Amino acid sequence: MTASHTRVLLATEHTEQDEGAEAVALALARHGAAPLSAVLPVSFNAEFEALAPELAARADAQAHARLQALSADAARSGVALEVVVRRGEDPAFEIVAEARERRAELLVTRRRGRKGLIANLLVGEMVSRVLAHAPCSVLVCPREARLWQRGVLLGIDPQAPSSALVQQAAAMAAAGGLPLHVCSVAPNEAARSAALRALEAALAQARAVCPLAAGALRVGRPHQELITAASEAGADLLVIGRHGRSVLGRAWIGGTAQKVIGLAPCPVLVHVEPGLVHVAPESA
């Protein structure tokens, strides 16, 4: 259901938290009858390996076992899968580097990591870094995620309209024969007119690709309104944009996007503007 994507990269550690991302990535590969690539990052520290080579060897063995299990799951699903293990001090750096080297058009990943302090955040630390620096759009999946079948909700930012974002959401909805719900959120009444103009422009563009597109204007806290709108519309895929660069020249992802990704019960596609130059995260 994503005809516009031909190069899909799955980032996974093959843990329980990765189940949703793996299920969605495999379903996308089956639907598109295309091979799937996956990157399995393994934390590597040269000093640690020198001091405790037996523990490093154990970590490599565990990574190999996870790779074998993931490959077996793909084979059972009828998907041709190429898995690459990348060792490095920073898993996010390795994932972004693999996406760049493969010229991935869509990166599929989990929402949170293993249980612990970091997992209590809305979005795991590694995933946040991947989102901030990815060279392509990122599909973030909660553990229970499955491929969308009911509808797509597009959340547009009236202050940063993006025709590429609208085009991507409309194409994904049209590819699956699904309705597209376009939602523009004004944070307050003073911003209503600007939000309405953005909605009307987005709808005009979306309907050229997806005739089933419909729109709604809402007023309130953007992340809450977008999640509520998706629920009311029965949409099981949310599409939003990512802020590109901060004034300090660092890539980042805005607070609204963080909250939507962390709280939505369905997969969230974070659109990345094509052609935008991204700075790779510094390896830890």
Domain ranges of the chain: 8-141, 152-271
CA atoms within 13 A on the CB side of 9: 26
Tokens for 29? 């590969």
Predicted local distance difference test score (pLDDT) of residue 218: 97
Predicted local distance difference test score (pLDDT) of residue 277: 46
Banded pLDDT at 48 (limits 50, 70, 90) = low
**Tens-place pLDDT, residues 168-212:** 999 999 999 999 999 999 999 999 999 999 999 999 999 999 998
Q: At residue 249, does pLDDT exceed 60? A: no
Q: At residue 246, does pLDDT exceed 90? A: no
Q: Which whole number is the average pLDDT over 161-165?
A: 90
Q: At residue 252, does pLDDT exceed 60? A: no
Q: Which CA distances in Å does 44 have to 57, 85, 180, 182, 283?
A: 11, 11, 43, 43, 11
Predicted local distance difference test score (pLDDT) of residue 89: 87
SS3 37: strand
Assess contact for 105 and 123: CB atoms under 8 A: no
Q: Which whole number is the average pLDDT over 272-280?
A: 61
Q: Counting runs of H as helices and runs of E as strands, what totals does the chain give?
A: 9, 10
Q: How far apart are CA 185 and CA 150, in angstroms?
A: 22
Banded pLDDT at 124 (limits 50, 70, 90) = confident
| DSSP assignment string, 85-125 | EEEES-HHHHHHHHHHHHT-SEEEEES--SSSTGGGSSS-H
Same fold, 8-141 and 152-271: yes
**Tens-place pLDDT, residues 27-45:** 999 988 678 999 999 887 6
Q: Which CATH architecture has domain 8-141?
A: 3-Layer(aba) Sandwich (3.40)
Cα 272–246–142 angle (5° rounding)? 45
Predicted local distance difference test score (pLDDT) of residue 183: 97
Please list the helix, strand and coil fractions of the chain in percent, rounded to the nearest 5, in that order: 45, 20, 35
SS3 262: helix
Q: At residue 164, does pLDDT exceed 50? A: yes
H/E stretch holding 30 reads helix 19-32
Banded pLDDT at 275 (limits 50, 70, 90) = low
Q: How far apart are CA 65 and CA 190, in angstroms?
A: 56
Give 152-271's CATH code, choosing from 1.20.1600.10, 3.40.640.10, 3.20.20.70, 3.40.50.620: 3.40.50.620
Kindly report the number of other CB atoms within 10 A of residue 207's CB atom. Answer: 16
pTM over 0.85: yes
Share of the chain above pLDDT 90, in %: 65
Kindly report the number of other CB atoms within 10 A of residue 55's CB atom. Answer: 11
